Amino acid sequence: MSDALRPLAPWGVAALVLAVLPFIFASGAALTVMNQMAITIIFALAYNMLLGQGGMLSFGHAVYMGLGGFFCVHLMNWVEYDNLWLPLPLLPLFGGLFGLFFAMIVGTFSTRRAGTVFAMISLGVGELIAACSIIVVAFFGGEEGVSGDRTMGPTVFGLDFASQQEVYYLSAIWLMISAAAMYLYSRTPAGRMANAVRDNEERAEFLGYSQRKVRFMSFCASGFFAGIAGALFAINFEILTEENLNLATSGSVLLITFLGGAGFFIGPIIGAIVFTLLQTVLSLYTEIWQLYLGILFVATVMFFPSGLTGLIAIHFRPYHLGKISVLTKPYALIALPALGLALASASVLEIAFHARHAALGDEQMSLFGLSFNSHHPLPLIAALALGALCIWLLRRQLPSFREAWDEANYAGGPS
Amino acid sequence: MSAPAAIELEGLSKSFGRVEIIRDVTLAIAKGERHAIIGPNGAGKSTLFNLITGKYHPTDGRVRLNGEAVDQLKPYEINRRGLSRSFQITNIFPRMSVFENIRCGLLWAMEYKYSFWHLVDRQPDLTRRTEEILSEINMSDKRDTLAGVLTYAEQRALEIGITIAGGADIIMLDEPTAGMSASETEYIVGLIRKVTESKTLVVVEHDMGVVFDLADRISVLVYGEIIASDTPENVRASAAVQEAYLGTALEEEA
């Protein structure tokens, strides 16, 4: 491959994967998960323009996605009832413009300072708009939200977007466009200075840049892409409610970005994929999936503050040194007890949850294919014992694992 | 009438609450002059620096750059008028590479401003100029190192690189050799001399050797007032300066 094409390779692979995914996971449920994933990825990437690229911690970014989405539902209704001519594939653009418009208003006062001041203003604005959703019923539809029908617009190449698959490809194309645009933005002077202001706002000011204007631009761009995500949400679910604006949604995008790794462009993508999978797949199997998500988040922040992407990235050095094979055996040795510990911990949580919350008289529970009485102490003791055993095994492996890790990262020959 | 001075301070005062830090400072620094500001700890050197560069606004008096009043402007507006500064505490972009640090110093000056339609990696002129500056500060081999992991002396050199990158006519350096060993100091002074050729240089410095070596003229700041502003020889000879500040330090130098 020539050098000029090399940077394009990941994008080509991504496009290819997006194109073939519906053939591998063809069920309606899988398509729904993938659509949601695409939306979440765009939203998280937009959020990371603030957090990772610009050093702005926002607690209210759901507002821009939500407003873009609400606006698009209204557009769909105008298409349906007032003969507005707007092909559905262009809808995300208008969602983005509405997000941009609102970000420009809020950005004028919220980007004056970064840090706590910015975070508090974002929280306040977030709560304000979420509260408005109950008050301004004409736009937000009150508690039941607003809903529309995406299939009423002019058809495009014979497509009316009634099927999930058509919506998937629409989302995938907007995902590619948005991700590429956000990546390219980070490589422009405005994007580079967003990094500079994040690192050291004072220095940036003495190089001719107004920190406020640099932040304002990132904020507006982020609002734009969040609006696109909102529009795709509107297209996919055809309904928006207060939930799309509230603090929980704003919090989960922060969680997603952090989980994936805010320091990497690809971080929010990985975070969004993992989060959506856990949310949709794990919730099929357990009622306390949010607890697991919370544990994963806390563990990530504590042990891998640079996120899951950071966890992958620390393996690049051993790989480039040609020593990745040094790690194979230690990883294999800790894999089993680590898995055992995870299962044992989950068992303890599930048993405790079942014992406390199952219907009265329902004492039988099944876990990992085993059926037992959750009120009997024995299963709990067994799970605790398994956990303790795994911890003991892990601790035994730790010194040799650490040694192997140091060896794999050491540039010299075998010592 | 001759051309206006590069920097002109007129009756400049700055108070924080009731505490007067700078008292009625009047000083003109000609174009192309290398001017040093010295004074004991707490004399107000850094405050004076921050007044000139727009970080603080004066309580009273005027700051003029090339004849234009700038005392109410913001740092970035002053920078755009051709003044660039470094900081007493190392002030770089730690999570960006050395190359990117320098490039950030060039973006505004090379008219890229807030553009979001240029890709920085596709601008040959920008890349070339960045590399020229890297080689000027002898850091070409550190090109892709993260600035945050450089040694202290390297970070100081990088900061000088960022400061001069934009091609400003007036360079202000706040204690560029603070905390350096003798050999590092010698190196940095040589570097400063090289990169500020034919520019106006204002430097705040503690190290007397550096000052007398580098400067055309020295101002002595004591308790917010300039008690002498003259050539190094005359400052060295001045009884008032010796009494107020230099005394022992000068004897050590001699």
Question: Domain map of chain B by residue range?
Answer: 7-253
Q: Hey, are the CB atoms on B162 and A203 less than 8 Å from each other?
A: yes
Q: Hey, are the CB atoms on B80 and A208 less than 8 Å from each other?
A: yes
Task: Say which of A196, A202, A213 has its CB closest to residue B104.
Answer: A196
Contact list in B for residue A210 (CB cut-off 8 A) is: 74, 76
Enter the DSSP assignment of B116: S
Contact list in B for residue A202 (CB cut-off 8 A) is: 55, 75, 87, 91
Structure tokens at A55: 């050093």
- Residues 240-279 (A) with a CB less than 8 A from some CB of B: none
User: CA nearest A215 in B: which residue?
Assistant: B114
Query: Given pLDDT bands bounded at 50, 70 and 90, which one contains residue B43?
Result: confident
pLDDT at B131 over 50: yes
Distance of alpha carbon A191 from alpha carbon A196, whole angstroms: 9
Tell whether domain B7-253 is in CATH 3.40.50.800.
no
Q: What is the pLDDT of residue A2?
A: 61
Enter the DSSP assignment of B7: E
Task: Say which of B76, B80, B96 has its CB closest to residue A199.
Answer: B96
Structure tokens at B241: 């300066």
Task: Say which of A184, A188, A206 has its CB closest to residue B84.
Answer: A206
Distance of alpha carbon A44 from alpha carbon A62, whole angstroms: 10
ipTM of the complex in this document: 0.87
Q: What is the pLDDT of residue A161?
A: 87
Query: Given pLDDT bands bounded at 50, 70 and 90, which one contains residue B246?
Result: low
* Runs of H (alpha helix) within chain B: 45-53, 75-80, 98-107, 124-136, 152-165, 182-195, 208-214, 232-237, 239-241, 247-253
pLDDT at B254 over 60: no
Contact B61, B75 (CB under 8 A): no
pLDDT at B250 over 60: no
Task: Say which of B76, B112, B120 has its CB closest to residue A187.
Answer: B120
Can you list the domains of chain A with their CATH numbers? Answer: 8-313 (1.10.3470), 317-408 (no CATH)
pLDDT digits (tens, 9 = 90+) for A212-249: 999 999 999 999 999 999 999 999 999 999 999 999 99
Chain B contact for A383, CB < 8 A? no
Structure tokens at B226: 């300039």
Contact list in A for residue B117 (CB cut-off 8 A) is: 188
Chain B contact for A3, CB < 8 A? no
Distance of alpha carbon A191 from alpha carbon A265, whole angstroms: 12
Q: What is the pLDDT of residue B1?
A: 47
From B109's Cα to the closest Cα of chain A, the distance in A is: 8
CA atoms within 13 A on the CB side of A352: 11
Q: What is the pLDDT of residue A413?
A: 64
> Cα A394 vs. chain centroid, distance in angstroms?
31
Q: Which residues of chain A have pLDDT under 50?
A: 1, 415
User: CA nearest B107 in A: which residue?
Assistant: A189
- For residue B171, the tally of other CB atoms under 10 A from its CB is 22
Q: What is the pLDDT of residue B245?
A: 65
Q: What is the pLDDT of residue A179?
A: 97
From A178's Cα to the closest Cα of chain B, the distance in A is: 15
Contact list in A for residue B93 (CB cut-off 8 A) is: 195-196, 199-200, 203
Structure tokens at B87: 């900081």
User: What is the C-alpha end-to-end distance of chain A, expressed in Å?
Assistant: 37
Residue labelled with tokens 């952090």: A258
Helix (H, G, I), strand (E, B) or coil at B224: coil
For chain B, list residues whose CB is within 8 angstroms of any CB belonging to chain A. 53, 55, 74-76, 79-80, 84-85, 87, 91-96, 100, 103-105, 107-109, 112-121, 162, 166
Q: What is the pLDDT of residue A415?
A: 47
Task: Say which of B104, B118, B119 has its CB closest to residue A207.
Answer: B104
Contact list in B for residue A205 (CB cut-off 8 A) is: 74-76, 79
Q: Hey, are the CB atoms on A191 and B91 less than 8 Å from each other?
A: no
pLDDT digits (tens, 9 = 90+) for B65-76: 999 999 999 999
Top residue of B93, B172, B173 to mutate, by most chain A CBs within 10 Å, is: B93
Chain B contact for A51, CB < 8 A? no
* pTM, full prediction: 0.89
Distance of alpha carbon B203 from alpha carbon B38, whole angstroms: 9
From A196's Cα to the closest Cα of chain B, the distance in A is: 6
Q: Hey, are the CB atoms on A203 and B108 less than 8 Å from each other?
A: no
Q: What is the pLDDT of residue A184?
A: 95
Q: What is the mean pLDDT of residues B158-184?
A: 91
pLDDT digits (tens, 9 = 90+) for B190-243: 999 999 988 999 999 877 778 888 899 999 998 899 988 999 888 888 888 777
